[in-house]
């Protein structure tokens, strides 16, 4: 399923103009549907209008859940709690001609692009294949961004960071840190990083710190989420981007709002006051 209104020739042009090798950041060449980097021997491909920069056999937790994710945007309770105010705020920063990368964009965008050129970077091929909103779809990794140094105006992580998980909390921390290191590398001076996350309350954070590793060993990839405290994002700013300005925005909602706490269980609904996580925006300005 190709991106609307983009011919093969236009897609190849975009790859050459915007993307670099995710391994060495060298130039990419495109021949037929093959993408190559001579410097690192990296190879990728084009399939159904999507730029493939991961192994095509790579499987994601979300490969069979994109339809459920799409319905999440249509649920009034979830929209009011996680998206309504969040998207209004974000849209004020999207400008015509800006190069924006949506990390973990899923099968659709919840916001209006306002003339920005939005690249969707998503590890799930079925999700990015079905995303008709992005201007360029990439199956790739946030820890290996296919963009040159200081070339991106804005990066958006819309509830995607907590899905960057390894086999332990330590591995998960390292993976997220690697992704943020890449964000810092590619964002232009004057650019921005919008990270929307759900932050665990104190008791939930303690339980998670004690239980996450053994539960991950038991459930393996079925446990796809790890929620970070606000302090973790303070550490990332201090360690990786000390010259940036970090603003934190909290979002309020009625305690009687009813929504799905787990998007993959549409039949499960709870009240907001029972949910031990709070939606928050971490806005990094460079």
Q: What is the pLDDT of residues 229-261, one digit of tens each?
A: 999 999 999 999 999 999 999 999 899 999 888
Tell me the C-alpha to C-alpha distance, in Å, between residue 266 and each of 213, 215, 262, 270: 26, 23, 7, 11
* 145 CB-near residues (< 8 Å, 6+ apart): 22, 101, 121, 182, 183, 185, 186
pLDDT at 49 over 80: yes
pLDDT digits (tens, 9 = 90+) for 62-102: 767 666 776 667 778 889 999 999 999 999 999 999 999 99
Q: Enter the tokens of residue 162.
A: 């907590």
Domains of the chain: 50-285 (3.40.50.150)
pLDDT at 38 over 50: yes
Does residue 243 come out as left (phi exceeding 0), alpha (psi in the -120 to 50 range) or beta? alpha
Predicted confidence band at 117 (pLDDT cuts at 50, 70, 90)? very high
Tell me what percent of the residues of the chain surpass a pLDDT of 90: 82
DSSP structure class, residue 108: S
**SS3 at position 32:** coil
Tell me what percent of the residues of the chain surpass a pLDDT of 70: 94
Contact at 8 Å (CB) between 229 and 236? Answer: no
Does this model's pTM top 0.85? My answer is yes
Mean local confidence (pLDDT), 173-179? 98
């Amino acid at each position: 399923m190709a991106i609307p209104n983009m011919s093969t020739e236009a897609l190849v042009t975009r790859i050459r103009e915007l993307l670099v090798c995710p391994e060495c950041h060298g130039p990419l060449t495109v021949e037929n549907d093959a993408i190559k980097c001579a410097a690192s021997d990296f190879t990728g491909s084009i399939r159904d209008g999507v730029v493939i920069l991961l192994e095509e056999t790579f499987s994601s937790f979300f490969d069979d859940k994109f339809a459920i994710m799409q319905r999440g945007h249509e649920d009034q309770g979830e929209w009011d709690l996680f998206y309504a105010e969040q998207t209004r705020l974000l849209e004020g920063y999207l400008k015509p001609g800006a190069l924006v990368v949506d990390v973990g964009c899923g099968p659709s965008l919840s916001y209006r692009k306002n003339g920005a050129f939005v690249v969707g970077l998503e590890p799930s091929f079925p999700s990015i294949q079905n995303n008709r909103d992005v201007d360029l779809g990439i199956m790739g990794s946030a820890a290996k961004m296919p963009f040159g140094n200081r070339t991106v105006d804005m990066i958006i992580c819309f509830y995607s960071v907590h899905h960057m998980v390894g086999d332990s909390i330590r591995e998960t921390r390292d993976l997220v840190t690697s992704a943020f290191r890449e964000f810092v590398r590619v964002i232009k001076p004057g650019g921005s990083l919008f990270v929307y996350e759900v932050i665990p309350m104190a008791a939930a954070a303690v339980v998670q710190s004690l239980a996450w590793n053994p539960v991950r060993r038991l459930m393996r990839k079925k446990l796809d989420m790890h929620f970070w405290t606000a302090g973790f994002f303070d550490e990332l700013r201090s360690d990786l981007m000390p010259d940036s300005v970090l603003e934190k925005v909290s979002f309020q909602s009625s305690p009687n709002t009813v929504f799905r706490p787990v998007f993959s269980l549409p039949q499960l609904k709870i009240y907001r006051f029972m949910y031990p996580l709070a939606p928050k925006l971490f806005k990094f300005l460079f």
